[in-house]
Structure 1
């Protein structure tokens, strides 16, 4: 249909309709149709170009929408299950989907993944602009979600040189140690002080692990576990704000890069056809309500100190201090309020999901493999003993425990894909052309469960990782993904390793874990719409250390 024909048709309609509302509707419709016509022209040109390049294999596409109709059809239970089914059905480790005018390239082969994130890392160093990523990053003021550019470089330098520097990590070690102690004491006191005999020693592993991560990141960032007044007893668990906070963080990470329709057709932003925008806005309203007063208070403190002329360098109490007190070459604050908000939100997103998920899955698998659980506790008893609590300094020698966590990361990642990389130019990968602006994503399950790479890939076998004197949680060969790599890689591998391993090690050292009465096997079924356990893990915990190590929190 030509634009002239379209205008004639609209003219006929306007002759028969009247009123201001009708005119507004018609003008909006005209705008949408013109945009679609222009997009159609671009897509036709793109399709003509694609005839002369070799894209990775993928399902047939339709004009303008590509594979969008298939994605919408397969939204339930989850888009990632449809994509992984395509990988299996087409017997390929590299897949090309076209969503609107955007090529989405899915990788499930370590060699190809290394070619993208190591050999050609610079060419895939950007991020896509989506509604959720723009909102969660306060207009791309942070590091992990920002497109390639000066803002990303600025905040990345702050992260690597200040926030995650070894000196900062060491300064904050006492805070982490307090949270490790609190974890142990909280589980012990809650289980042994249960008022109901029927609930004696029962522990919701998911709740404990998730709120440990929430407590940890709040302490590291804000210097406090609770947003408001302390509860009556610190062993009573998180308060209402803390529960809401952790839930909001998980909602955010679940909605980030979630194949929303408007991410590929930006003209649809604002219509909120999937309810995606409302959820994202609700999340940010919660985070802003809880975070902003603390940030504003600290920034006011800094400005007051500056007005009094105090020039001595302040010792950072937490990561918020680090961000607020950074100065540029002229002695002025380096980061704006928006930049601080963005980076704090991103740090929160980064730590709540993976440690809690991988520890829950590891314990679930070990309940069905008692010999693995026995080997793990034997290693702790040998390396650490039972007269003191395991510490971060013990982690390098706990190779079997690290192997258990690696195996859980391999089989049971929290996210089906890593954060998308955007090609900043046309490039050839594995003999295929990856067009500029393509979104390239690594399938975490496609890599970790790949039968071409792993023998009996669905079997939980930590021993397969015991091939080095110092087992690490990340895999540089990308046979599975725990921490991302390259320019867009995770700069917090050391902190992430410490938090994950100490959560796991303290739970194993402090308690004997058993299945609830009447349960012979722990179900390892995944959720329909996620890779998390379908049913939160509930186990019985019996203290296995000397009583004085479980000092009650007053």
Structure 2
């Protein structure tokens, strides 16, 4: 928590106090500052991760809590996660046999990226993967870009406080964010656009991954509850 220039950390093992923070007083304590970095990352505050406390965040939080991160959905995706664990072990084994140096950070990043892509898009490669099971060029770009965005998302940026200086981009943060989110959009948007079109035309009706779950949600009038931009924003982070 922050009060003025002072920051405090509250540690508690009492369930009632934790529930007070995360349920009853969620709007008060889960507020997030709006910066140039979060603007690009969330496609204009459309996703739940970095959006400020507003109606859009409440909407996306309801969707994620009820349709994405519930116990049933985690069990439903368990097989996909297990399969990627096997692929991960096989890849590391192949690297060891070939005598290559195993960079733990790179390998773990690739594994996390594959699991997320498998659950979200039902695929682990955007292009052609390597014969040894490693990530291709597009996959490496896709997994490295979010880390680039994280490095500048809440970094000090003068025009977050003085918007009139935004055009100057003095420390280059906006350009870094533009390039990083451009890479993510290049990988994700074609898949999402194609799937949106298939669902809207009735060619796809069965939910096979998280993208399909987001597309299948309807409002009270039977129309899609989430727009394509909202889905892209959620998939980007």
TM-score (norm 1): 0.39
Query: Aligned ranges for residues 239-254 of structure 1 at < 5 Å?
Result: 239-254=136-151
Residue deviations 1:18-77, cap 9 Å, x none? Answer: xxxxxxxxxxxxxxxxxxxxxxxxxxxxxxxxxxxxxxxxxxxxxxxxxxxxxxxxxxxx
Out of 222, 227, 232, the residue aligned to residue 121 of structure 2 is 222
Give 5+ residue unaligned stretches, structure 2. none
User: Is the CA contact 1:218–1:225 (under 8 Å) kept in the aligned structure 2?
Assistant: yes
Residue 214 of structure 2: aligned partner = 323
What SS class does the counterpart of residue 269 from structure 1 fall into? helix
Q: Does 1:204 align with 2:103?
A: yes
Deviation at 1:230, TM superposition (A): 4.2
> Following the alignment from structure 1 to structure 2, what is the Cα–Cα distance between the partners of residues 332 and 108?
43
Residue 8 of structure 2: aligned partner = 107
Deviation at 1:201, TM superposition (A): 6.4
Out of 279, 282, 288, the residue aligned to residue 179 of structure 2 is 282
Deviation at 1:261, TM superposition (A): 1.5
What SS class does the counterpart of residue 110 from structure 1 fall into? coil
Residue deviations 1:439-498, cap 9 Å, x none? Answer: xxxxxxxxxxxxxxxxxxxxxxxxxxxxxxxxxxxxxxxxxxxxxxxxxxxxxxxxxxxx
Out of 157, 162, 166, the residue aligned to residue 269 of structure 1 is 166
Q: Does 1:129 align with 2:30?
A: no
TM-score (norm 2): 0.89
Residue deviations 1:65-116, cap 9 Å, x none? Answer: xxxxxxxxxxxxxxxxxxxxxxxxxxxxx986xxxxxx454224536xx799
> Following the alignment from structure 1 to structure 2, what is the Cα–Cα distance between the partners of residues 229 and 217?
17
Deviation at 1:268, TM superposition (A): 1.9
Q: Does 1:333 align with 2:224?
A: yes
Give 5+ residue unaligned stretches, structure 1. 1-93, 97-102, 195-199, 347-554
Do the aligned partners of residues 273 and 237 (structure 1) sit closer, same or farther apart at CA in structure 2, a change above 3 Å counting? same
User: Is the CA contact 1:131–1:277 (under 8 Å) kept in the aligned structure 2?
Assistant: yes
Which structure shows the higher helix fraction?
2
User: Is the CA contact 1:221–1:320 (under 8 Å) kept in the aligned structure 2?
Assistant: yes
Residue deviations 1:257-294, cap 9 Å, x none? Answer: 11212222222222201100000000111111111000
> Following the alignment from structure 1 to structure 2, what is the Cα–Cα distance between the partners of residues 224 and 185?
18
What SS class does the counterpart of residue 247 from structure 1 fall into? helix
Residue deviations 1:111-164, cap 9 Å, x none? Answer: 6xx799468544333221111111111111111211212111110011000011
Cα RMSD after superposing both structures: 2.3
Residue 49 of structure 2: aligned partner = 144
Higher CA-based Rg: 1
> Following the alignment from structure 2 to structure 1, what is the Cα–Cα distance between the partners of residues 227 and 33?
23
Q: Does 1:184 align with 2:89?
A: yes
> Following the alignment from structure 1 to structure 2, what is the Cα–Cα distance between the partners of residues 214 and 122?
31
Deviation at 1:229, TM superposition (A): 3.4
Residue 533 of structure 1: aligned partner = none
Do the aligned partners of residues 124 and 109 (structure 1) sit closer, same or farther apart at CA in structure 2, a change above 3 Å counting? closer
> Following the alignment from structure 1 to structure 2, what is the Cα–Cα distance between the partners of residues 95 and 134?
22
Deviation at 1:332, TM superposition (A): 0.8
Size of the alignment, in residue pairs? 231
What SS class does the counterpart of residue 252 from structure 1 fall into? helix
> Following the alignment from structure 2 to structure 1, what is the Cα–Cα distance between the partners of residues 135 and 157?
33
> Following the alignment from structure 2 to structure 1, what is the Cα–Cα distance between the partners of residues 133 and 74?
29
Deviation at 1:183, TM superposition (A): 0.8
What SS class does the counterpart of residue 201 from structure 2 fall into? helix
What SS class does the counterpart of residue 146 from structure 1 fall into? coil
Residue deviations 1:306-330, cap 9 Å, x none? Answer: 7xxx9xxx33111111111211111
Out of 61, 65, 69, the residue aligned to residue 156 of structure 1 is 61
> Following the alignment from structure 1 to structure 2, what is the Cα–Cα distance between the partners of residues 339 and 264?
27
What SS class does the counterpart of residue 290 from structure 1 fall into? helix
Residue 197 of structure 1: aligned partner = none
Q: Does 1:213 align with 2:112?
A: yes
